[in-house]
Amino acid sequence: MSMPMPILLLLLLLLPQGQGHGGAGDICIVGSGISGSSTAFFLTNYTTALSGAQLRVFERRAKVGGRLATVTVSGDHFEAGGSIIHPRNLHVRRFADLLGLEAKTDGDDDWLGIWDGHRFVFQTLRPLPPGTSWLRRKLHTLVNSLRLFKRYGLSLLKMDRFVQEMLQRFMLYYNGFESRPVFDTVEEMLKWSGLYGLTRRTLEAELLDAGLNSQTISELVTVITRINYGQSVSISGLAGAVSLAGSESGLWAVKGGNWQLAAGLLEAANATLHLQEGIDSIEYAGDHYILKSNKGLEYNCVATVVATPLDEVNITFSPPISIPARKTQHTHATFVRGILNPKFFGLSSVSDIPKLIGTMEVPEIPFSSISILKKYSEQDMTYKVFSRVKLNESLLDQIFSGRKETIRINWPAYPHYEAPEVFAPIILDGKQLYYVNTFESAASAMETGAVAAENVARLLIARLRLPLPSRPAAPAPDHHDQRADL
């Protein structure tokens, strides 16, 4: 499948140069989130025929990372978007290791309460004070398990089996090149691992078939899908299984912020980063693409990778592309330094409010979850509230008895999942225009972004007929642009 290097170089030289910036040999990536940055990383990691100097990454914002970002509340930084990483998310795990980023783990000792709008229908035990003996801690864990078992019974085991089965299939995407094809479409990619079926039906239908009882689905499972995707158990099965995996133990995050993954990957790839430069249009010009940015600049690219969801962004394609409509689920993340009002929860003391408030699917409940991010004192904490709609002042004044600081972020967070899912193509125009975020219709997460990006990188390398795996490096065109240096 490889073409001798001199011929490839000749072809690149013969491509028209246009009046735009950069040679026609550039590969352009739109978006610097985990999808765009891992595409850049895999492209340079998989073939030495490509150098960082040929990679341009466009980011309309002033910072890389996209939906990986921190928010600062009273001088402390917290994850505002994508926050937790599963221990079996191998790409992200490897990225962190390679980039020398430290992992931070949560205590598994969460005090969960399930709120139905009137009362907490279920609570795990409140955490033990620090310094409690080993034996008492073991006992505590045991009692917690028994409480869960008493309410949800064997459904807990069935839920775990459902998640493990999904994870096992997902792990096939880490197979070596010999035993894993390059995929042209998301359908093909999901069918190969046996995960496609899960995108055809709702999570609820899948779990009922797996033998879970309806109480477990309407309480525990609902709490988890509302926290992770702001949606009910009618989301599609694969997104549901991914969100359930997000309730397992051993979860971690990058110390100092997950956005550093994106920054580090772009740096490792030596990509040329164009910050605060949004792409307005992508035009196919016979044998290359002309990207026009909001700075009035033009770039010629042999291949273009769209690494952002296209559902709520305005990029004009010419010729036009057609992709299935996909709704975006907005998640409003409200960060509050202050103190919750126990009366809102029918309680007399703040100390009786669980650390993590999950909610059932009841229209009157105005939020999806509330969690404590930091405890300064018994009467002073920082909370993260997720909701489907913006929380107004009067509502916040009912939920909180005191507020020192409030920060609101309205995320175009993830797809609004609706089984059966339909997928946009990976190759948008049958040529060299690729779309990473079509895979988000299967499930949205940092790791799924990386897995989709890895496939796109392999596909692009194969379709540009670059040597894979590594061959001696081709001389890179001269560039004097700013390197990714963050």
Ligand X SMILES: *[C@@H]1O[C@H](CO)[C@@H](O)[C@H](O)[C@H]1NC(C)=O
Ligand Y SMILES: Cc1cc2nc3c(=O)[nH]c(=O)nc-3n(C[C@H](O)[C@H](O)[C@H](O)COP(=O)(O)OP(=O)(O)OC[C@H]3O[C@@H](n4cnc5c(N)ncnc54)[C@H](O)[C@@H]3O)c2cc1C
Residues interacting with ligand Y, by CB under 6 A?
A: 30-36, 58-61, 66-68, 81-84, 278-279, 307-308, 313, 315, 331, 333, 411, 413-414, 437, 444-447, 449
Q: How far apart are CA 452 and CA 157, in angstroms?
A: 30
Give whichever of 25 and 31 is closer to ligand Y, judged by the CB atom.
31
Calculate ∠ Cα 186-317-415, nearest 5°.
40
Tokens of 16: 């028209």
User: Residue 265's binding partner, choosing from ligand X, ligand Y, none, with beta-carbon cut-off 5 to 8 A by kind?
Assistant: none
Minimum distance, C-beta of residue 278 to ligand X, in the bound complex (Å) = 10
Give whichever of 185 and 281 is closer to ligand Y, judged by the CB atom.
281
Give whichever of 51 and 236 is closer to ligand X, judged by the CB atom.
51
User: Residue 395's binding partner, choosing from ligand X, ligand Y, none, with beta-carbon cut-off 5 to 8 A by kind?
Assistant: ligand X
Query: 134-152 and 155-170 helices cross at what angle (nearest 10)?
Result: 100
Please, what's the largest Cα pairwise distance for the chain? 77
| Other beta carbons within 10 Å of 4 | 9
Region 385-444 residues binding ligand X, contact defined as CB under 6 A = 392, 394-395
Judge whether 362 and 117 are in contact, CB under 8 Å.
yes
Window contacting ligand X (CB under 6 A); options: 72-80, 193-201, 309-317, 349-357: 309-317
Q: How far apart are CA 233 and CA 114, in angstroms?
A: 15
Give whichever of 32 and 155 is closer to ligand Y, judged by the CB atom.
32
Minimum distance, C-beta of residue 58 to ligand Y, in the bound complex (Å) = 4
β partners of residue 104? 253
Minimum distance, C-beta of residue 310 to ligand Y, in the bound complex (Å) = 9
Tokens of 436: 């990473």
Region 104-123 residues binding ligand X, contact defined as CB under 6 A = none
Quick check: bond before 469 cis, omega within 30? yes
Kindly tell me which residue out of 133, 179, 249, 314 binds ligand X, with binding defined by CB under 6 A.
314
How many residues touch ligand X (CB under 6 A)? Answer: 15
As to burial, measured by CB atoms within 10 angstroms (0-12 exposed, 13-18 middle, 19+ buried), residue 38 is buried
Kindly tell me which residue out of 52, 81, 354, 425 binds ligand X, with binding defined by CB under 6 A.
52
Judge whether 71 and 77 are in contact, CB under 8 Å.
yes
Give whichever of 141 and 371 is closer to ligand Y, judged by the CB atom.
371
Tokens of 365: 């409940």
Q: How far apart are CA 280 and CA 284, in angstroms?
A: 14
Compute the chain's Rg from CA coordinates. Answer: 24
Using rule CB under 6 A, residue 66 touches ligand X: no
Minimum distance, C-beta of residue 455 to ligand X, in the bound complex (Å) = 16
Minimum distance, C-beta of residue 179 to ligand X, in the bound complex (Å) = 18
Judge whether 128 and 139 are in contact, CB under 8 Å.
no
Using rule CB under 6 A, residue 19 touches ligand X: no
Kindly tell me which residue out of 32, 35, 38, 44 binds ligand X, with binding defined by CB under 6 A.
44
Residues 6+ apart with CB under 8 A from 103: 96, 252, 253, 254, 255
Nearest C-alpha neighbor of 65 from the set 31, 111, 116: 31
Give whichever of 44 and 202 is closer to ligand X, judged by the CB atom.
44
Window contacting ligand X (CB under 6 A); options: 155-163, 294-302, 307-315, 324-332: 307-315
Window contacting ligand X (CB under 6 A); options: 20-28, 32-40, 308-316, 323-331: 308-316
Give whichever of 34 and 301 is closer to ligand Y, judged by the CB atom.
34
Minimum distance, C-beta of residue 64 to ligand Y, in the bound complex (Å) = 7
Using rule CB under 6 A, residue 225 touches ligand X: no
Give whichever of 329 and 341 is closer to ligand Y, judged by the CB atom.
329
Q: How far apart are CA 461 and CA 44, in angstroms?
A: 10
* Helix, strand or coil, per DSSP, at residue 14: helix
Give whichever of 120 and 411 is closer to ligand Y, judged by the CB atom.
411
In Å, how far are 18, 188, 304, 432, 437 from 35, measured between CA atoms?
29, 20, 13, 17, 8
Tokens of 265: 């990957």
User: Residue 43's binding partner, choosing from ligand Y, ligand X, none, with beta-carbon cut-off 5 to 8 A by kind?
Assistant: none
User: Residue 58's binding partner, choosing from ligand X, ligand Y, none, with beta-carbon cut-off 5 to 8 A by kind?
Assistant: ligand Y
Minimum distance, C-beta of residue 476 to ligand Y, in the bound complex (Å) = 24
Using rule CB under 6 A, residue 51 touches ligand X: yes
Give whichever of 318 and 351 is closer to ligand X, judged by the CB atom.
318
- Bridge pairing between strands 70-73 and 76-79: antiparallel
Tokens of 167: 């994870």
Query: DSSP letter at 220?
Result: I
Using rule CB under 6 A, residue 270 touches ligand X: yes
Using rule CB under 6 A, residue 321 touches ligand X: no
Give whichever of 174 and 376 is closer to ligand Y, judged by the CB atom.
174
User: Residue 32's binding partner, choosing from ligand Y, ligand X, none, with beta-carbon cut-off 5 to 8 A by kind?
Assistant: ligand Y
Helix (H) or strand (E) holding 281: strand 279-284
Nearest C-alpha neighbor of 356 from the set 216, 217, 228, 213: 228
* Residues at the site binding ligand X, with contacts judged by CB under 6 A: 44-45, 51-52, 94, 98, 269-270, 312-314, 366, 392, 394-395
